[in-house]
Homo-oligomer: A and B are copies of this chain.
Amino acid sequence: MSVIHSPFARKLGAFVALSNKEQSALDRLHGRRKVFPVGVDMVHQGQTDQAAYILASGWVCSYKILADGTRQIVDFQIPGDFLGLRSVLFRTSDHNIEPVTKVEASEVLVRDLLETFNETPRLATAVLWAASRDEAMVVEHLVSIGRRDAKERTAHFLLELGARLKLVGLGSTSGYACPLSQYLLADTLGLSAVHVNRVLRELREDGLVTFQHGQVEIHDLDGLVALAEFDKTYLDHDGPLLK
């Protein structure tokens, strides 16, 4: 029987060294597959959904739209990320979760998740670590928007994406595929699309990074890390944090 570990298992494996059996248990968590087309809300603003998902493929962003039409993207989910749990719990929050590329997701019942934890407690640890890392990234995002200028912010975000994609085997520290338009980038970074364009040009002219044709190429990792004050521990650990 062939073993194809899901991005979810790969991600958690980056935090806790998991046996093949444990990884398979994670894979078994994946329930019914659902496909969401591009640009369609998975959860509507103000509405709560009972389902949680594990992203199998595609990218998702969660965002909020204000009365004047401006949009703030809170974060992105990539394959292996857990999704919807927040919108299930947040009775009072109202931000959508919109796929930016066609998304394949596995419906997960929280009950099944908890049962899996009972079988193998180390999985609970792994999930906690992954969740805390995800929340740390939201906090870093907040710091970025509050106190970093446009160039630093952009550099930080591109580095963060790279680190996360590397975790699930979808990229490296030198480059990765990125389906985000400059408009999405703008609404993520709290900038205008015009200015994102200028910033990307500057970063390219500085020889730091290129963002073209859906592809991010990092040319000067150290320079980017220094510019963005990016936490290198996100990039450095190759094996699991907890053996």
> Smallest distance from the beta carbon of A109 to chain B beta carbons, Å?
16
Q: Out of B67, B139, B189, which one reaches A93, CB within 8 Å? A: B139
Q: Out of B86, B143, B145, which one reaches A132, CB within 8 Å? A: B86
Task: Check if B148 sits within 8 Å of A145, measured CB to CB.
Answer: no
Interface centre among A72, A128, A129, A229, by most chain B C-beta atoms within 10 angstroms, is A72
Residues of A participating in the B interface, judged by any CB pair closer than 8 Å: 64, 66-67, 70-72, 74, 86, 89-95, 128-129, 131-133, 135-136, 138-143, 145-148, 189-190, 229, 231, 233-234, 241
A148 to B146 Cα, complex, angstroms? 12
> Smallest distance from the beta carbon of A11 to chain B beta carbons, Å?
15
The contact sample of 26 A-B pairs, CB cut-off 8 A, is A64-B139, A66-B147, A66-B229, A70-B147, A74-B139, A86-B132, A89-B128, A89-B129, A90-B132, A90-B135, A90-B136, A91-B129, A91-B241, A92-B133, A92-B136, A92-B231, A92-B234, A93-B136, A93-B139, A93-B140, A95-B139, A135-B135, A138-B142, A145-B146, A145-B190, A146-B190
> Smallest distance from the beta carbon of A159 to chain B beta carbons, Å?
13
> Smallest distance from the beta carbon of A187 to chain B beta carbons, Å?
8
Chain B residues within an 8 Å CB radius of A139: 64, 74, 93, 95, 138
Per assembly, the copies of the chain total: 2
Chain B residues within an 8 Å CB radius of A64: 139, 143
Task: Check if B135 sits within 8 Å of A72, measured CB to CB.
Answer: no
> Smallest distance from the beta carbon of A62 to chain B beta carbons, Å?
9
What 9 A-B pairs have minimum CB-CB distances, sorted nearest first? A146-B190, A89-B132, A93-B136, A72-B146, A72-B143, A72-B147, A142-B142, A70-B147, A90-B136
Task: Check if B143 sits within 8 Å of A66, measured CB to CB.
Answer: yes
> Smallest distance from the beta carbon of A186 to chain B beta carbons, Å?
10
Chain B residues within an 8 Å CB radius of A234: 92
Chain B residues within an 8 Å CB radius of A233: 92
Q: Out of B67, B141, B142, B148, which one reaches A66, CB within 8 Å? A: B148
For residue A89, which residue of chain B has the nearest CB? B132
Task: Check if A231 sits within 8 Å of B94, measured CB to CB.
Answer: yes
A143 to B95 Cα, complex, angstroms? 10
- A sample of 11 more A-B contacts (CB under 8 A), given A89-B129, A142-B142, A145-B146, is A66-B147, A70-B147, A86-B135, A89-B128, A89-B132, A90-B135, A91-B241, A93-B140, A95-B139, A138-B138, A145-B145
